[in-house]
Amino acid sequence: MKNLGLVVVTSLLSAFFAVFIYKTMFEEPQKILIKETLPAKQVDYNYTQEAPSRAAYASSSIASNPNFVEGAAAVTPAVVNIKASQESDYFWGGGGNSYGASTGSGVIISRDGYIVTNRHVIDEGDNIEVTLNDKREFSAEVIGSDPSTDLALIKIKTDTELPYLSFGNSDRLKIGEWVLAVGNPFNLESTVTAGIVSAKGRNINILEDQYSIESFIQTDAAVNPGNSGGALVNPEGELVGINTAIITRSGRYEGYSFAVPANLASKVINDLRQFGEVQRAILGVNIEAIDNKLAEKLNLPTVEGVHIREVTRKGSADLAGMKPGDVIIKINGKKTSTMPELQEQIGRYRPGNMVTAQFYRNGKLQQAKITLKNKNNSVAMSANHRDEFLLDLGFELRDLVPSEEKRLGMKGVKVVSIYRNSKIERTEMDPDYIITKVNDNRVRNMQECVNALKEAKGKVLLEGFYENYPGEYYYTFSKRK
């Protein structure tokens, strides 16, 4: 019996160590968006802020730096808590109401209540609630979101001016420089942590969108679930990034956190605010990273740059005279040593903008001026226009893109989104409805549609169709209050 017991104990210990060694040496660390899901019906906003101990503060290397104190004081009033909740009338296993929620952080970027956060914080919620640093609570409207950068813009309405942060210049950040992460991890409001910039231009393959841009700022500032959408600032309190993701084995912070750089975030947020969607410019090339063998083959002076494998016919790069085999090293004077750096630089511009590319061809340095196009190979910007008149009616519209017009054989206006409790929602219209007539007047684009709606008196009749459903569909509403 003693021998049997010894065998059992030895077997268990061997199994334990085998699993431990496997996880430690072979298992890939988990790459996660720092999103915190709340248990059903257990949302509590009566948080207690934890104050750091005097001993911990005194022993910190940042205690002697007064700029950290000033920076934290300037930032915390502009960082908010966000709760996105969704209620369903039915859930698996029985009747009744089910309720789910997730929390994160956000940064106020204007006096009138615009707030930037991560898309994954709000994308599963029907109701978005914002709690300010002074405990006031507001319902928020989603202005727009971008899956390619995991950013979103929301807005609250308030009669008072709000504290806010402006985007700083993330290009000035240097590796080794101090930064602060401000957010609401584990529902602890306005938590400030410090660290250094560990790397720039990091791609961790976490975003699944076809046109995703991952050129993260990597830091070792402590970032945990609930920090998503919070602020990454320099010691002076300038907003240099939006905290988005961590790499971890445990699901908690382990020293690797990532933020969308401010220069990219600023462009994305401005697009969402102005157009309701991101105006994405592309080069029209298929690219790959430069390694030592390829650099030697192409006679490059250093192992840096982005190699063009293919060029889209009549795309931006093609029309500028670029060819397969070229190696891009700069865009508008900014180094593009890696693919993420190139994607970030191009991601800062809109279709129709012109950029200057420096590149090597056959070992010689050359330059080209490139007029950027969109994914439809056009310099036109998308027309998901956030007209206040349309918002009052309760929907957002855009022009059909050329590929849609070709496929459908006609021009029209597509419904992008419909707001809850609006006149349009009460018609039971669905998104993706394509409007072709307003009160029997043919409309071919956004401008014609908006003009027709504004000129209509009393009752309005919309005529159109859904691409995947046969027949015409008609919706009516009244412009009277």
Active site residues: 120, 150, 228
Which of 270-274's residues contact partners 24+ apart within 8 Å by CB, and which partners? 271/144, 271/146, 271/350, 272/143, 272/144, 272/145, 272/146, 272/151, 272/152, 272/153, 273/114, 273/143, 273/144, 273/153, 274/386
List 167's β-bridge partners, or say none.
Answer: 239
Residue given tokens 């995947």 in the structure block = 468
Give me the residue label for tokens 């910007």.
Answer: 381
Q: Which residue bears the tokens 């334990």?
A: 16
Name 127's bridge partners.
85
- Which tokens belong to 62? 């940042």
Residue 289 identity:
A
369-399: buried (b, 16+ CB within 10 Å) or exposed (e) per residue? Answer: ebebbbeebebebbbbbbbeebeebbbbbbb
Structure tokens of 371? 């007029």
For 238-267, the DSSP string reads -EEEEEEEEEESSSS-SS-EEEEEHHHHHH
Instruction: Report how far residue 268's alpha carbon sits from residue 266's, in angstroms, rounded to the nearest whole number.
Output: 6
Burial of 27 by CB count in 10 Å (0-12 exposed, 13-18 middle, 19+ buried)? exposed
